[in-house]
Amino acid sequence: MAIAPGIAIGPVFDTAEVPAEAPRRRIAAAAVEAERQRLAEAVALSRKQLGKLKTRLGILPEEAQEELEPLLDAYILMLGNSRLLRGARKRIESELLAAETAVQDEAEAIAALILAAKDDDKAGLKRRADEVREIARRLTRNLTSTPFRSLKEVPEGSILIAEELTPADAALLDPGKIAGVATEEGGADGHTAIMLRALGIPSVLGCVGLTETAQRGDMAVLDGSAGTLVLRPGEKALERGREALAAFTKERAKLAKLRRLPAVTTDGELVELQANLEIPAELPLIAQAGAQGIGLLRTEFLFMNREDLPDEEAQTQAYAQVLEAMGSDPVTIRVLDWGGEKDMEALSEGIAPTHAGPNPALGLRGLRLLLKRPELLEAQFAAILRVADKGNVRILLPMVTNPSEVKAAREIYERVAKRLKRKGVHLPDRLPELGCMIETPGAALAADAIALEADFFAIGTNDLAMYTLAVDRAEAEVAHLYDPLHPAVLRLMQFATEAALRLRMPVSVCGEMAGNPRLVPLLLGLGIRCLSMNASAIPRVKQMVRSLDIADCARFARRVMEQSDPQRIHELVMGFGTAKD
Ligand code: PEP
Ligand code: MG
């Protein structure tokens, strides 16, 4: 899995953890109190270690700190009055187990429960189970006095390899010293991946068999953009690696020059290129990429990795931080899109109980959930409105299928605004615009009706393709059928875009499709003038925009839209500019 772009060439350094030797052990009944005391000491030591790790966060870039701190807090919380410790203490007493055995048994029992939960977000479940195991490992190490691996010894310029790297480990990496990271485990959406991206260390995860094959000191060429690692490269592979490194550096410098240039076509049409933001850690990247604002702020990050809900005040602070960083550039904040493949502990663990149903993608997700639990929507609207005069903000509703949902959301929105005004909160004269995601076939085909209720559209092609083609976007088995260029998806996009343009209503595309430079001619040809994408894609997309003529794009789009064969559409789109289009 390609996790963070860049090329690293250097010796590998293996930091495999020395496994803690902790054979299963029983104790005598008379030793129960002493064993509980041992556990208490290990807990205290672990808390101290994590506290120290927290203070070391200070040396990391701010964005990395923000990502890691809540996780460390969660670990520390697990060392408080947690189920893990209560269970372990009970096992010491009732099963007469040694502390380390009790901790491991309890952690495995909890992990098994988490993993057995009925939830489609398998990666999320695994992450939570791993967090429990991670704390158990730390306790076991401390109970058996096994040393932790030290990342301090990693020689400068080397590629760190490991079976698994925890986010806490990743936090200790110095991006100025470490050339790259490759691990066997980990997922593209895990905390570790997010951290590595935030730190800008070229990284590849999911290299099965890596630690068994690699010897410390072996040369390797890692390509974080392609997701490859060549171990013990021959002269040819090494040469290719050097070339890729030179090309990457050159390309980055070239693209960086584009930052200040406008995204304008050769015939003078301006195209807005905005960024999608998933965590505040990406804010500096957005500035570097030359984005003209945030076209999609996914607010799910506020609700993740915590066992309670963020209150209005906490949300207000988070939005204020983003608005301040973005100055007068537009920021489109999407209200919580819970459900589907996303999962949030606070929402699923009883604080705001919800039931995803047997088919979560079709169940209570996005706006449906918010209308069912209006207190969530009210708090989020209020938090956004409180900071609305700090910048240029718009609000986006996820997973709309019916105009009545937009109407209902707007009623709540206006009610919240009135309440704030009564309280003396200063609001802008015109309330921020309220827009709709067009990400279901229903919304796309009813776009003319929904347009009457909404102030703008953002076409979410990720879900639109999923729902149109009945292909789960996160399911590897059917990935070959997932195709945003399928004529059915394109026709829906065209219908929705035209519905918006007829009313002169702003419309953007904010799915992954928007970040693919090869699809830009088609999107512009369909009438789209605003694209929102992951920040790192902006320079390449801008380069493409600056090479295009709108009339050519419109002609090209007409040709594409006449086709009904997906294969032919692919050929046309990938061949744009090579034939006479
Ligand atoms: C989409 O569905 O295309 C989209 C942008 O939203 P998300 O990826 O957050 O579901
Ligand atoms: Mg979506």
4-16 pLDDT, tens digit per residue, is 889 999 999 987 6
Q: pLDDT tens across 297-323, in order? A: 989 888 876 667 899 999 999 999 999
- Percent with pLDDT over 90 in the chain: 60
Check if 510 is active-site: yes
Give the integer Cα–Cα distance in Å for 433 and 454.
8
* 215-220 long-range Cβ contacts below 8 angstroms, 24+ apart: 215/12, 215/14, 216/11, 216/12, 216/13, 216/14, 217/11, 217/12, 217/13, 218/11, 218/12, 219/9, 219/10, 219/11, 219/12, 220/8, 220/9, 220/10, 220/11, 220/12, 220/159, 220/161, 220/182
Output the pLDDT for position 581: 44
- Band the pLDDT of 265: cuts 50, 70, 90: very high
Instruction: Assess whether the C-beta atom of 462 lies below 6 angstroms from ligand 1.
Output: yes
Distances (CA, A) of 157 to 8, 160, 169: 8, 9, 18
User: pLDDT band at 255, cuts 50/70/90?
Assistant: confident
* Strands of 149-216, DSSP E: 159-162, 180-183, 203-204
- DSSP annotation of 97: B
Phi/psi zone of residue 96: left (φ > 0), alpha (ψ -120 to 50 degrees), beta?
left
Say what the pLDDT of residue 150 is.
65
Residue with CA at minimum distance from ligand 1 atom 3: 460
Is the pLDDT at 266 greater than 70? The verdict is: yes
Q: pLDDT tens across 509-567, in order?
A: 998 889 889 999 999 999 999 999 888 889 989 999 999 999 999 999 999 999 999 99
| Alpha helices in 180-299, H assignment, sequence order | 191-199, 210-213, 235-257, 283-289
Q: What is the DSSP string of 416-478?
A: HHHHHHHTT----SSPPPEEEEE-SHHHHHTHHHHHTT-S-EEE-HHHHHHHHHT--TT-GGG
If you ran DSSP here, which 8-state letter would residue 18 be given? P
34 CB-near residues (< 8 Å, 6+ apart): none
Residue 119 has pLDDT above 80, yes or no: yes
Which atom of ligand 1 sits closest to the CA of residue 458?
5
State if residue 439 touches ligand 1 by the CB under 6 angstroms criterion.
yes
Give the number of the atom of ligand 1 that is nearest the alpha carbon of residue 462.
3
Q: Is 515 touching ligand 1 by the criterion CB < 6 Å?
A: no
481 CA to centre of ligand 1 in angstroms: 18
For strands 434-438 and 272-277, give the pairing.
unpaired
pLDDT attached to residue 121 = 86
Q: Name beta bridge partners: 183.
A: 162
Helices (H), 117-234: 122-144, 167-171, 191-199, 210-213
CA angle 114, 120, 121 (to 5 degrees): 70
- Which tens digits make up the pLDDT trace of 45-62? 888 878 877 776 665 667
Given a contact cutoff of 8 angstroms between Cβ atoms, the answer to whether 88 and 39 are in contact is yes
Instruction: Output the CA 224–ligand 2 centroid distance in Å.
Output: 26
Nearest-angstrom CA–CA distance, 191 and 171: 11
What pLDDT is recorded for position 170?
74
- As a residue count, the chain comes to 581
Query: Nearest residue CA, atom 9 of ligand 1?
Result: 298
Determine if ligand 1 sits within 6 Å of the CB of residue 461.
yes
Stretch (H or E) spanning 533:
strand 530-534
- The residues facing 294 across adjacent strands are 275, 331
pLDDT bin (cut points 50, 70, 90) of residue 136 is: very high
Q: Which residue has the higher pLDDT, 277 or 473?
A: 277
Catalytic residue among 207, 436, 510, 553: 510
The answer to whether the CB of 447 is under 6 A from ligand 1 is no
One-letter amino acid for residue 136 of the chain = A
- The one-letter amino acid at 313: E
Tokens of 379: 């708090």
| Model-wide pTM > 0.85 | no
What distances in angstroms separate CA 212 from CA 137, 152, 182, 216, 247, one per listed residue?
Answer: 22, 22, 13, 11, 31
Pocket of ligand 1 contains residue 473 by CB under 6 Å: no
Bridge partners (DSSP) of residue 12 are: 159
Spatial separation of the C-alpha atoms in residues 90 and 104, rounded to whole Å: 13
Residue scoring higher pLDDT (509 or 185): 509
Pairing of strands 507-509, 7-14: unpaired
What is the rounded distance in angstroms from the CA atom of residue 370 to the CA atom of residue 408?
10
Kindly tell me if the per-residue pLDDT of 188 is higher than 70: no
Q: Which two tokens stand for residue 306?
A: 């915590």
Q: Which residues contact 48 (CB under 8 A, 6 or more apart)?
A: none
**For tokens 């708090």, what's the residue?**
379
- Give Cα separations from 428 to 331, 372, 384, 418 (angstroms): 15, 28, 12, 12
- Nearest ligand, CA 510: 1
pLDDT of residue 340: 64
- Report how far ligand 1's centroid is from the alpha carbon of 463 (Å): 6
